[in-house]
Chain A
């Protein structure tokens, strides 16, 4: 295993499968009365969140604690960042305290890559700008795998705000690593520029018409709805929220159409959901929805990631 987890592309298929297999065992620990393993005793994990987060930060914290690591949460507000300290000075200060891992969420794409060059600790990317969110992709893959089995040849449709979505970028990579085949759907205004070359190179399909993707071609095994990220939008991507829902929301008729073609199809959403915008309450609360499974998998997958990055010897990680 590598020392850092910065991008989903860092992981080979064997490594992804090892992480998911370990996560399966960690998931069993979650069902015990004593949810504690002594594995990372004496290690220190800092969760440094420069951006708001509920599930990622809390699941990293729980994961670290259940592995007996000492976890400390820092946020930009309330740290010296708000006094104008640079990212480099901040992380080097933390690094000087001899911590073992830094879990970083930052609003700048590539921030984690930068930090990894400045510190000795393992750096885990918990979402950097609109770039990547590898542990989210791992927990999505875990959730899919626990319902569908081997993902080889499975068809996953990812719908929504591709331009601003790090979840989508990491997911495309990890799903491809596991042999799944991916179709991404977005309105033209929310398709990242240059996606044509990228989709050709990485072998995923792009589409503008969600209904067509759901109704024709390969039967989807899972549909992943992405959040419309209002905080990253400076407007002009679609005329009105209502118009987005009509074109790209997982509405009740679309859910019915999906389940008519594949009764076992799954609905995923990385959260937090904008109910009534990209996903209807019917879809979010249907039996096909595995949104809460994703959250529950989040802790197990992050325990597994911490284990693989921190438990072994330094020499083995080199």
Chain B
């Protein structure tokens, strides 16, 4: 039976924005603060810091916060495995359902949560995110973790710490501290996630003129 090609489209009310909004283009007037080699160097250092702090790879579980934190988590784990030669469980923890700003924003599509088979009970969980800003995502991630189990310890690794914390949260491992103003945007692009070479760029805000 052939399918009719004149399928009338059902009338819809205002359609929601696309679930996965593609990353907005990099601001061409922004300045790059980290390039691909810098990012690789940061991650390698963080990988060593994690191992040093944990005294080895025992009980480590690395969880990225979607979306770019997941790619960073996988890169970190590859680097840790390179050093230790042991398999490290890696996954993703989505924080959408735990955010405190859901009501003030259009509905967000939740991302995939992927907890490695061994679970997180009694493990040292390293949360990985690209930018640490208000700390609210990390707060949400901590709540999400507590619904999933009881880790022995939770650590936080971020590629960029841009300041302006609104909650008592700090990172254990920081790729680069970037003092910024609220008006500025920190744009992170990663080759696997965005299909362009790794870069961290600061865009917008008037302080740019002051610094120039």
Closest to A36 in B: B147
Residues of B contacting A181 in the complex (Cβ-Cβ under 8 angstroms): 1, 3
When the two chains form the complex, which single residue of A1, A28, A32 contacts B16, counting CB atoms closer than 8 Å? A1
Q: B16 to A14, Cβ gap below 8 A?
A: yes
B94 at the interface (CB under 8 A from A): yes
User: Do A308 and B4 have beta carbons less than 8 Å apart?
Assistant: no
A296-B1 Cα distance, complex, nearest whole Å: 32
Within the complex, which residue of B1, B19, B103, B149 is in contact with A311, where a contact is CB–CB below 8 Å?
Answer: B103
Contact B147–A32 (Cβ < 8 Å): yes
In chain A, positions 167-224 with a C-beta closer than 8 Å to chain B are 173, 176-177, 181, 183, 201-203, 205, 217-218
CA distance A91 to B23 in the complex (A): 44
The answer for the CA separation of A176 and B6 in the assembled complex, in Å, is 12
| B105: chain A residues within 8 A (beta carbon) | 312-313, 316
> Which of the residues B9, B14, B94 comes within 8 Å of A2, measured between beta carbons?
B14
Residues A316 and B106 in contact in the complex (CB < 8 Å), given A11-B10, A173-B10, A181-B1: yes
User: Is B94 touching A308 in the complex (CB atoms < 8 A)?
Assistant: no
Which A residues are CB-close (under 8 A) to B148? 32, 34
Whether B97 lies near A39 (C-beta < 8 A) is: yes
Are A37 and B15 touching (Cβ within 8 A)? no
Assess whether B113 is interfacial by the CB under 8 Å rule.
yes
| Total count of chain B residues near the partner, CB < 8 A | 35
**In the assembly, what is the distance between CA of A56 and CA of B96, in Å?**
26
Partner of B1, one of A12, A38, A218: A218
Q: For the complex, is B169 an interface residue (Cβ under 8 Å from A)?
A: no
**What is the CA–CA distance of A311 and B110 in the complex, to the nearest angstrom?**
12
For residues 261 through 318 of chain A, which have their beta carbon under 8 Å from a beta carbon of chain B? 307-308, 311-313, 316-318
- A312 CB contacts on chain B under 8 angstroms: 102-103, 105-108
Q: How many angstroms between the C-alpha atoms of A28 and B193 in the bound complex?
A: 24
A2 and B13 within 8 A (CB): yes
In the assembled complex, A22 has its CB within 8 A of some CB on chain B: yes
Q: Give A22's nearest chain B residue, CB to CB.
A: B110
Contact check, A183 vs B8: say whether CB atoms are below 8 A apart: no
Q: Is B109 an interface residue (CB 8 A)?
A: yes
Minimal beta-carbon separation of A67 from chain B (angstroms): 8
Interface check A15, CB cutoff 8 A: yes
Contact of B107 among A12, A37, A176, A316 (CB under 8 A): A316
Complex CA gap A13/B113 in Å reads 24
Query: A38 and B143: CB pair below 8 A?
Result: yes
Inter-chain contacts of B16 with A (CB < 8 A): 1, 14-15, 18, 308, 316
Q: Mark B77-103, 1 if CB is under 8 A from A, else 0.
A: 000000000000000001001100011
Q: Mark B7-44, 1 if CB is under 8 A from A, else 0.
A: 11111111110110000000000000000000000000
B113 contacts A25, C-beta separation under 8 Å: yes
For residue A259, CB closer than 8 A to chain B, the reply is: no
Q: Assess whether A10 is interfacial by the CB under 8 Å rule.
A: yes
In the bound assembly, the distance between CA atoms of A21 and B16 in angstroms comes to 14
Q: How far is the CB of B91 from chain A (nearest CB, A)?
A: 12
Known: A181-B1, A181-B3. A14 touches B15 (CB 8 A): yes
Query: A39–B110 Cα gap in the complex (Å)?
Result: 11
- Nearest to A23 among chain B residues (CB) is B110
Measured between beta carbons, the chain A residues less than 8 angstroms from B103 are: 311-313
Contacts of B108 in A (CB 8 A): 312
Are A176 and B102 in contact, CB atoms less than 8 angstroms apart?
A: no
Q: Does A241 contact B (CB under 8 A)?
A: no
Q: Please give, as numbers and ranges, the residues of chain B lying within 8 Å of A307 by CB-CB distance.
A: 97, 107, 110
**20 pairs of residues in contact across A and B, judged by CB atoms under 8 Å:** A2-B12, A9-B11, A10-B10, A12-B9, A14-B15, A14-B19, A15-B15, A21-B109, A25-B110, A32-B147, A37-B97, A37-B147, A39-B97, A177-B10, A202-B8, A203-B3, A307-B97, A311-B103, A311-B107, A316-B106
**Residues of B near any A CB (own CB < 8 A):** 1, 3-4, 6-16, 18-19, 94, 97-98, 102-113, 143, 147-149
With A2-B12, A183-B1 given, name 20 new contacts (CB 8 A): A2-B14, A11-B10, A12-B9, A12-B12, A17-B19, A18-B16, A18-B19, A21-B109, A25-B110, A25-B113, A28-B113, A32-B147, A38-B98, A201-B8, A203-B7, A217-B1, A307-B107, A307-B110, A312-B106, A316-B107
